[in-house]
Every structure is written in C-alpha cells, then in structure tokens.
Structure 1
Amino acid sequence: MNELELSAGTVQYVDRGTGPVVVLLHGLLMDASLWDDVIADLSADHRCIAPTLPFGAHRMPMNADLSLPGIARLVVEFLDRLDLEDVVLVGNDTGGAVVQLVLRDDPRRVGRAVLASCEAFDNLPPGLTGRSLALSGKLPPALFGAFMQQLRVKAIRRSPLAFGSLTKRGDATTAGWIRPVLEQPEIRAETVRMLRAVFANRRVLEEAAPELAHFDRPALVVWAADDRVMPLDHGRRLASLLPNAELALIEDSYTLIPLDQPARFAELIRRFA
C-alpha cells in the first residue's frame, strides 16, 4: 500500500502494473480492496491505481470536506499530485457519483470515464441500503458504533439493510470494510461526519447531471443487470446524457460488479481503454 500526502491528510492507494493509467474509485464503507480482482487481471497491461477514499473504511483520519463535491476535489488533487494524464477514471457505487462530479468540475486529467452501477439523478440515498446508512449517520458516534457492531454477524451483513443487496459473492471482502469503524474511534466519528455531509444535499447529482453533456470524451456506462439498488433506467439515462458514451450490461451481478464479475468488468475496461 502506497501513501500520498494531500492537503487534507494522507491517502493510501494501490498502484500496480504499467501501461495506460486506470484510476478506480470505490463507494461508501468500502476501500480499495473492492478492486483487488479487477486489478489482478487488468494490471497485466495497465497501470491500475485505486485510492482508499475517506468513505468510512479508511484507516488514516483526514481533515477534509467529506461532502461528495469535497471528495471529488480530493480526487482531482490526487490526480494532480501523481501528475497523471489522460486517465481512465472508473467509479462504482458512490465512486461513480464522485466521477460524475469530477467530470462536471475539473475533468482536465480524464481521458475516458467509466460509470458502473452508481448513484445518479435523484437516487441519493440509494435503496434500502443507502437509506439505512443515511439514518445511521444521524446517530452520535458512540451509538453509530453500536449500530455497526451488528454487521459482525454474517446474516445481518448479508441483509438488504447492509451489503446483501450490493453483492452476491463478496461477503469476505465486505467483512473487512467494517473493521476501521469498529476498531478506531476517530474513524467512527469521521464516518458519522462523512455520512451527514454526503446526504446533506440530496439533489447534488440531479444538479450535476445536465453538465455531463459537456464531457465529450469517450465514456462507458456499465450496469449490473440484476441491480437492486441502482435503477437500470439511470444507466440508460447517463449513457444518453454523455455525448460519446456506450452502455454495457453485466449479467449475474448486483451493484458491486468488481466483486461479483471482476473478469467481465476487467475485460470491458481493457477493451474500452
């Protein structure tokens, strides 16, 4: 794991392979391990970079603006500090929401964009999983920690309130994501602050959507055919908004395509990049 000091603190990130640069962004209560299997495949002929964003599964506290636009600015600074050019910027789940805001606000280092089963338009918070997170974020940090303790139990972790509607096969990975919140009081407090900031403006993606028409570089919208949280119609709408976009569906997957169908996802990115 590499580390990079940004204005708001230290970001840890994976950096593997050589070739065209692919930067991969994860969602809430996740870390860069979302992309492990995709990177194992794609790094054979691409440089794959996956930062762990301050979305609740990070281990180093940050003094950052934790709203979605604030996280998007952090990603732009990350690309600037690594001096990355013409990157393929990929986002899944809330990482895709961040990609949309980067495309709106500062896409100069982005050569191509991939939006994969992500929040869009009015789908914030998304589904029962998102609504339970938004509600839990209103708790004080100590009570939030008690709420999160339930996710130690696999049956609860696999329920629609948690990760059950997000992945068919990735429980071992999701179990690791909850550890920082359970083990580190400072991360627990920061996660509460992040959840409140992320859901403070529930129209942020609706407001950003018309601006996507200005991103005229190639875009790929990848959607899970069995998605229970991100409506397929939103994937179609994103593909129609972006002037140079194509839409691809992935069978036998929920929202977290990198966990459920990593080989197929890597193949699509490789062909696109």
Structure 2
Amino acid sequence: MSKSEALGAVREVRLSGGTIRYRERGDGPPVVFVHGVLVNGDIWRNVVPVVADAGFRCITPDWPLGGHEVPVPEADLTPPGVAGMIGDFLERLDLRDVTLVANDTGGALTQIFVASQPERVSQVVLTPSDCFDRFFPPMFAYLSAIGRMPGAIWLLAQTIRVRALHRLPNVLGFAAKHGVPAEVVKSYAASLQRNRAIRADLGRFLRGVDKRHTLAAANKLAAFDRPVLLAWAEEDKLFPMELPRRLAAILPDATIETVGDSYTFVPEDQPRWLAERVVEFVRKHATT
C-alpha cells in the first residue's frame, strides 16, 4: 500500500478482478488519482493534501502496476483490463461527477477508460502520459521485453535497490528531474522485491502494453466532450510537447498548461503547481 500518511485513511474495495487498496482524504467532489507503472499512490503524496484542503474528496488507489501490495491474480491486467478496473472502482464506490488526475502510464489507462466509459467522469487532468504511439516511450520499451523474460522482473526489482542507478535516464533520471526520495522508491519497489505474486501481476501488465491500445483510444477521444486539462512539463524528455498539442487537437474541450523545471513526474517535481491547477480547473468547470 502507499506508505504516506498524507494520502489519508487506508481502505480496500473488492472489484470483480480482485481487491484494490486505496487511501482517502477530504470531503467534497471526488478526485481520483491514477498513477503509472512501477510506482504507487505515493507519487501523489504532495498533491493530495493541497487538493483535499481546498474542499475535495481525494481518493488515491494503488493500481496493480507493480507498486501495489495486494496481488490480483485473477484480474485482467491488459491495458484495457486495467482501464476497466478504473470503471469498476468508480462504480463500486458509487462515485459520480469524478475528476480523474493521471500521470505517465496512468494517463494511457485513463484515455482508454474515458474513450469507452465516460459516464461517471466530469473532467480529466492529464500530466505527461503515454499516448498515441508512445506506449511505452522508446526509452522504456525494454519493459515490455522484461515482461516476457523469465526472472527478469525479479532482477529489475533487485536493481531498484541500488540508489546509484536511480538517476540513470532509463530508470528515474528522465522521469523526475529532481530525483525521488529513497524512502519513496522503497515504497514503490518493496512488494515487487519480496512478493512473487506482485511480480506476476506486473508481468501480465507489461506483456499487454502495445501502442494499438492508445491509438485505438485516440480514435475515440473526439467523442469525449468533457473538459480536459493537459498539465504538461515543457522540459519532458519522454513525452514531448507535440503530444499534448496532438491531444488538444482531438479533444473537443482541452486546455494546455505548461510548467518548467519538471520532467514526466510533475507530481514529484512540481506538486504545488499541479495541485493548484487541479483545484482551479475543477472549480472553474463546477460553476459553468
């Protein structure tokens, strides 16, 4: 589970594919966060307090993407399957008029989800994310191969223990400009290192990643007429600015806002900026 107390009380919900552990903080309109692969809800630990204190119910699941603690061996962990879990999660908690806030791989899953099941979603905030033919981006294409190689995920989990490797471009160096605290990386990797079932979950997801899923979603996004904020990092090394521009050209109601001094992990590099953008965006569209 996420280790940061800033995310609120620990809860669990049983979905059709397994149990999802999540944290909840605040009251008001629901904001649900969707992280990417090999991390968990802790990536939002500096965003959630600001959004919750502004009058929102912040719900931060640990999706089964390698940083989770509760295995889901029966779940469909293809990208469409995990996108379906987002819908199942919203339904089981009876969440309506939801704001989805997504990062990295979570942005791809969110696009896949809203392209087919937009009913409970009022607006979306996408930070730098996989989209179009970048699923995964070229520098992380090796992850799909790791999912197919026996023992490779175990080896990946062990290498994450080596702090000197965290700043490599194809580890965290091009994801977080200012690095990720060691205790947070430990939160991301602990279950993967010790639990074979978690590694099996991750392998099933990695083997299913393919750009055909994000390209198919992109072909449907013109029908998603809810407001979308594309909160992007100008210096992003993995998802360059041409991508939010392409998304904005497809989505009927999209706005691009940019931030400097950040890479893909905007919630890590610029959490205050992101939290303030989320609050402003949701309030603006709640009154229109």
Q: TM bucket by the smaller chain? A: over 0.9
- In the TM superposition, structure 1's runs of 4+ consecutive aligned residues that sit over 3 Å from their partners are none
How many angstroms does 1:206 deviate by? 1.1
**In structure 2, C-alpha distance between the alignment counterparts of 1:193 and 1:95, rounded to whole Å:** 16
Matches within 5 A, 1:143-162: 143-162=152-171
Residue identity matched to 1:55:
L
Percent same amino acid at aligned positions?
A: 39
**In structure 2, C-alpha distance between the alignment counterparts of 1:6 and 1:151, rounded to whole Å:** 30
Check if 1:54 corresponds to 2:102. Answer: no
* Structure 2 spans left out of the alignment, 5+ residues: 1-9, 283-288
In structure 2, the partner of 1:120 is 131
Check if 1:266 corresponds to 2:268. Answer: no
RMSD: 1.2
**In structure 1, C-alpha distance between the alignment counterparts of 2:200 and 2:110, rounded to whole Å:** 25
Matches within 5 A, 1:137-148: 137-140=147-150, 142-148=151-157
Matches within 5 A, 1:9-28: 9-28=18-37
Deviations 1:239-269 (A, max 9, x none): 1211111100011101010111000000000
Q: Quick one: which of 86, 90, 94 aligns to 1:79?
A: 90
In structure 1, the partner of 2:195 is 184
Count matched residues: 269
**In structure 2, C-alpha distance between the alignment counterparts of 1:147 and 1:269, rounded to whole Å:** 34
Q: Quick one: which of 233, 257, 263 aligns to 1:254?
A: 263
In structure 1, the partner of 2:77 is 66
Check if 1:236 corresponds to 2:248. Answer: no
TM-score normalised by L of structure 1: 0.95
Residue identity matched to 2:71:
P
Could you say if the C-alpha distance between residues 31 and 168 of structure 1 is closer, same or farther in structure 2, counting changes exceeding 3 Å? same
Residue identity matched to 1:196:
R
**In structure 2, C-alpha distance between the alignment counterparts of 1:100 and 1:178, rounded to whole Å:** 26
TM-score normalised by L of structure 2: 0.90
How many angstroms does 1:170 deviate by? 4.1
In structure 1, the partner of 2:180 is 171
2:264 alignment partner, SS class: coil
How many angstroms does 1:202 deviate by? 2.4
- Range with bigger deviation, 29-38 or 181-190: 181-190
* Structure 1 spans left out of the alignment, 5+ residues: none
2:230 alignment partner, SS class: strand
**In structure 1, C-alpha distance between the alignment counterparts of 2:11 and 2:86, rounded to whole Å:** 16
**In structure 2, C-alpha distance between the alignment counterparts of 1:153 and 1:8, rounded to whole Å:** 33
